[in-house]
Structure 1
Amino acid sequence: MNGNARSAKRGDPWFPDGNIVLLSEDSSVAFKVHRDFLSRHSEVFKTMFDVPQPPAGTGESVETLDSCPVVRMFDLPVELGNLIKALYDATPLPTRGRNHLRNQAIRHLTQTWSNTLRGHDEMVELAVKSPIVDGKTYPYVHPLHVLNLARETNVQIIIPPALYFLSLYMLHDILAGDHPKLQINHPSCPSSQLSARDLQDYTLMFQHRVEVILDFIRRTCGDRIASPGCQNEGTCVKVFQRYGSRLSRSWKIRTGPLHYMVQVSDEIFENSEICGPCRRAFRQDAHARREEVWNSLPSVVGLTSWKELEARDL
């Protein structure tokens, strides 16, 4: 077990008349809920609760908390709480209950697998800062699972970010299926197999990602000319050429171009060999290129614009 259920704090919701306790992945938060209610309104919970408990006399004790059996989940506290509240909140709204619940679920997914560049940047920053949990890095789920979930539920808005992050993995690793994030055994877990359709989209995204990096290194860095307000044209151009040469030798096949552009831009902005106007112009161009790459991401795999995807799914 990951921890003692009795040390977990009460989460929201916690129903005094509940008859089952759901414990978050890290064992830090518990939610007391109604077993029959969740089974009725969620196939995932119904399947989970249908798993037989150890019979009496087998020596295997059933974990309990507040006189209720405990079910350990693979969800973080905030995610689990949002899911439970979404199920309960949707029920009194018969005319829009199902759509309301679906909309809440999609919006929750896009908090991590964002449809905006700002959301993407926040996710990457959080991934860099967050600790490793059970051998897994943030966001603790494999993008292949997110992609398959999107396909199963016909949610297109999370397909581009899922494919973008999936393209950071090598194909032989994806096909092997032995990544720790793909080893989760849970009724709610989507398929760990890459479909033939998504093999094509993965390849398109992988190729696009590499082309974006090479184009950025060559055109935005190496072939750069001095800005109109350059204070030292000869020096600035030579420094940019050196950057292009160095970056062309040092980039990695698993590099994410959107974050890579930020790193290069920050490094150049701190380089005193380049004059202020040229540094500012480079940062503006790098920012514009990132926006361009992000806006074109859905079209790489044949989807409509972000705006149209948002109107469709949200």
Structure 2
Amino acid sequence: MSSSSPPESMIRSELWYRDGNIVLQAENTQFRVHWGVLAQHSSVFRDMEELPQPPDQPTIDGCPIVELSDGPKDVENLLKAMYIPAFYCQKKLPLPVIDAHIRLGRKYDCKYFFDLAVARLTAEFPAALEEFDAIHSGETSGGIEWKADFSLFHIIAVASNNNILSALPSAYYRVVQSSSLEKLFDGLERTDGTRASLDSTDLRRCVIGRQTLLHKQLQAGYTLGWTRKWEFSDCISPAACGTFRENILSFYLDEKFVHIGGLLPSTHFYKWNFCPTCANHITDSIVAGRKKIWDEMPEIFGLSPWSELKNDI
């Protein structure tokens, strides 16, 4: 093998171990690591190590250089998990780390990190209403660090591209709840000036699901059905409660400002000061209606029912 020095444009990562015996190169960044560590976590690298090396393969300090087609930050995120035992002990991991571990975990068969990343994603976007409520209310903290609305587009892409189907209904719901039709179609600007957007399949599901939710949430038996048809006769303050109900209905029928309220908790309406009997009826109606919406959520977005919505991973 011929030995070579890295070109001046090449960057040595902080993951550069002097006793390493393999150099991974991703674009203009090199990582000097160990075949043994790679092979321990990845069957692809384990098989690669056993392949005979061509005699003219370039090396650095006797270490063969293996060029990868992945981005350097993605490779760094995966290697840090391999080399830092406490990496997954962090309470929250940035979304790009989860993304990299899912994509590269699948590509290189790093099952351990792939499974951990998927577990964080499905915990953040769960298939159970109780878990969704706990995350949404802040009662429990998800394991992914993401802040801006454009991150939801990223999360949907990760789940959709990797067939993590159980995370899609709640992710779709959260994005249609926070995005206008204009934002869904045009995308959202990231902090670096690029735009995050949905692919055609996810966009179609979100647009159809959004319209279905707006119609369904006001139907009898669903979350806000009580605003259109009041079936209780024991109200002790008919004038005030009637006005409150009409105002809420007008709010959700306003064509200028579309509001998705299919999963709003009953506590959201406490500020209206309904009489005690009406408040109890409303709470019962919302609890039943939210469950009905949740049970139908996958189908609202054009997916299989919860009982058939399996992750193809």
Q: TM-score, normalised by structure 2?
A: 0.57
Q: How does 1:219-298 map to 2 (within 5 A)?
A: 219-226=225-232, 230=234, 233=235, 235-251=236-252, 253-267=257-271, 271=273, 274-275=275-276, 277-298=277-298
Deviation at 1:296, TM superposition (A): 0.5
Q: Give the share of equivalent positions with the same residue, in percent.
A: 14
Aligned position for 2:126: 114
CA gap of 1:78–1:256, structure 2 versus 1, over 3 A, is same
Distance 1:261 1:50 in 2: 40
Note closer, same or farther for the CA distance 1:34–1:226 as it changes in structure 2 (3 Å cut): farther
Question: What's the offset of the Cα at 1:155?
Answer: 1.6
Instruction: Tell me what 2:71 maps to.
Output: 48
Aligned residues: 235
User: Are 1:179 and 2:185 counterparts?
Assistant: no
Report which of the two structures shows the higher radius of gyration computed on alpha carbons.
2
Query: Structure 2 matches for 1:75-114, cutoff 5 A?
Result: 78-79=92-93, 101-114=113-126
2-structure distance, mates of 1:206, 1:48: 35
Distance (whole Å) between structure 2 residues aligned to residue 17 and residue 238 of structure 1:
80
Q: Could you tell me which residue of structure 2 aligns to residue 152 of structure 1?
A: 161
* Secondary structure at 1:138 match in 2: coil
Separation of aligned partners in 2, 1:302 and 1:205: 7
| Structure 1 residues 186-205: aligned runs within 5 Å | 192-205=196-209
Cα shift at 1:282: 1.9
Q: What is the aligned counterpart of 1:170 among 176, 180, 184? A: 180
Matched, 1:208 2:212: yes
State the Cα distance separating 1:181 from its structure 2 match: 6.3
Equivalent position amino acid for 1:248 in 2: L
Letter in 1 for 2:244: Y
TM-score (ref. length: structure 1): 0.57
Task: Tell me by how many angstroms 1:298 deviates.
Answer: 0.2
- Quick one: structure 1 residues 111 and 183, their matched pair in 2 at CA, closer, same or farther if it must change by over 3 Å? farther
1:207 Cα deviation after fit: 0.3
Contact 1:106-1:313 within 8 A present in 2 as well: no
Amino acid paired to 1:210: L
Tell me the CA shift for residue 158 of structure 1: 1.4
Q: Tell me, which stretches of 5 or more residues in structure 1 are unaligned? A: 1-15, 20-32, 52-75, 91-96, 185-190
8 Å contact from structure 1 (residues 145, 192) kept in 2: yes
Give the root-mean-square deviation of aligned CA atoms: 4.7
Match of 2:135 in 1: 123
Q: What is the rounded CA distance, in whole Å, between the counterparts of 1:18 and 1:83 in structure 2?
A: 29
